[in-house]
Amino acid sequence: MSAESELLDKIRDISRPVRIMHICGTHERTISKYSMRDVLPEEIEVLSGPGCPVCVTPEQEIDRAIALAESGVILTSFGDMMRVPGSNGSLMEARSRGADVRMVYSIDDAIAIAEKEPESKVVFFAIGFETTAPTNAAAVLRKPPGNFSLLLSHKLTIPAMNELIDEIEVDAFIAPGHVCTIIGIHPFDQFAEKGFPVIAAGFEADELLLSILMVLEQQRSGNHTVENAYPRAVKNEGNRRAQEMMEKVFEVIDSDWRGIGTIKDSGMKLRPEFAMYDAAVIYEDLINEKVKDISYENSASSLCRCAEILKGKEKPSDCPLFTKKCNPANPVGSCMVSQEGMCYNWYRYRGVEDA
């Protein structure tokens, strides 16, 4: 008997009605890849929270990146960011109109371009949660060349959870393993204190099933604490060095999240002493000039239900656009764009019944 089926049996033994939210795109990918929802008891609902950095990047920030790309800089970006729609198309469409947009796998690739092409200005579109931010902080501390800068759109997990916690209709959380390797598990204590079991989980099928089982066990015994189900990667205190680097390079600011709006203290900017690497500072006038006439009142994504889906209040199938106007080939909201997005995963991997 495999580890997975043993865990499934144990889950079935102590199953009870519960709504569990994970906050991680990679968790959603594993859950969907194994059609885990189909084999779990029906009373166990697994919901996908705002855990995909690509999904929560708002149109405004994509528009700013496109504005830069169209003004002649080399704009470098992670691949899955390139299909995400801004208010006037995506970075990929900007590239087809002639902008120099290049896909990179890390900030180091972007710096290598800047070193190789000293006559060009190279901007790295820095997105992601606490997982990608330390790498970018480290790169800034290594003093990249002067023709290189970052357009920052980092987001922080804990403030977003805090924003949602009072509205959200869930009973427990699976905390994102990658984020926990950086920040540790203690930042989640506050949610346990409010009554939510929180389990930091890894990304294999058995690790996720184990974390679901641990939620059920906490509920059965009336507990609500933070537990580490991913000790092979996560230290309870996190990665101190990464935390220090982030602290040194970035300062916390309010930030806009697609589908949610502005969340206090949920983003980051470069500290003033690193302003020479801050594309938002270097190209401020140029960006503002380009985006000043864009209205976000009636944008495409205002039609979609990203917000409710990210908050766990609705499922992709509740959205009137889902599979009709919004699908992977023609995404409206970014939950459909990224492979980590809940809509994309529902679309790609749904089981037999809904397929």
**Contact residues: another protein, CB under 8 A:** 2, 4-5, 8, 25-26, 29, 32-36, 38-39, 53-54, 78-83, 103, 105, 109, 127-129, 131-132, 178, 205, 209, 328-329, 338-340, 347-352, 355
Q: Least CB distance from residue 2 to another protein, whole Å? A: 7
Shorter beta-carbon distance to another protein: residue 81 or 158: 81
- Written as six digits, the tokens of 354 are 């809904």
Minimum distance between the CB of residue 51 and another protein, rounded to whole angstroms?
Answer: 11
Among residues 32 and 211, whose Cβ is nearest to another protein?
A: 32
Cβ nearer to another protein, comparing 46 with 205: 205
| Torsion over CA: 288, 291, 292, 297 (sign) | negative
Pick between residue 158 and residue 205 the one whose CB is nearest to another protein: 205
Nearest one of 209, 228, 199 to 7, comparing CA atoms = 209
Q: CA–CA separation, 275 vs 269, rounded Å?
A: 9
Quick one: 290 exposed, middle or buried, by C-beta within 10 A (0-12, 13-18, 19+)?
middle
Strand order in the sheet with 74-77: 101-103, 74-77, 122-128, 148-154
Do 327 and 350 meet the contact criterion of CB atoms below 8 Å apart?
no
208 touches 31 (CB < 8 A) = yes
Between 127 and 152, CB nearer to another protein: 127
> Cα–chain-centroid distance for residue 42?
27
Residues with Cβ < 8 Å from 333, sequence gap 6 or more?
A: 55, 258, 259, 301, 304, 305, 306, 321, 326, 343
Give the whole-angstrom CA distance, residue 31 versus residue 216.
Answer: 17
252 pairs with which residues across the strands? Answer: 268
What size, in residues, is the chain? Answer: 355
Residue nearer to another protein on the CB measure, 290 or 325? 325
Alpha-carbon distance of 196 to 312, in angstroms, equals 15
Least distance from C-beta 303 to another protein, angstroms? 21
**Residue found by looking up tokens 């930030």 in the block:** 255
| Smallest gap from residue 87 Cβ to another protein (A) | 22
Q: Judged by CB, which is closer to another protein: 26, or 218?
A: 26
Do β-strands 122-128 and 74-77 pair in parallel, antiparallel, or remain unpaired? parallel
Q: How far is the CB of 298 from another protein (least distance, A)?
A: 27
The least CB distance from residue 5 to another protein, in Å, is 7
Question: At its nearest, how many Å lie between another protein and the CB of residue 147?
Answer: 21
Smallest gap from residue 211 Cβ to another protein (A): 15
**Nearer to another protein (CB atom), residue 8 or residue 215:** 8
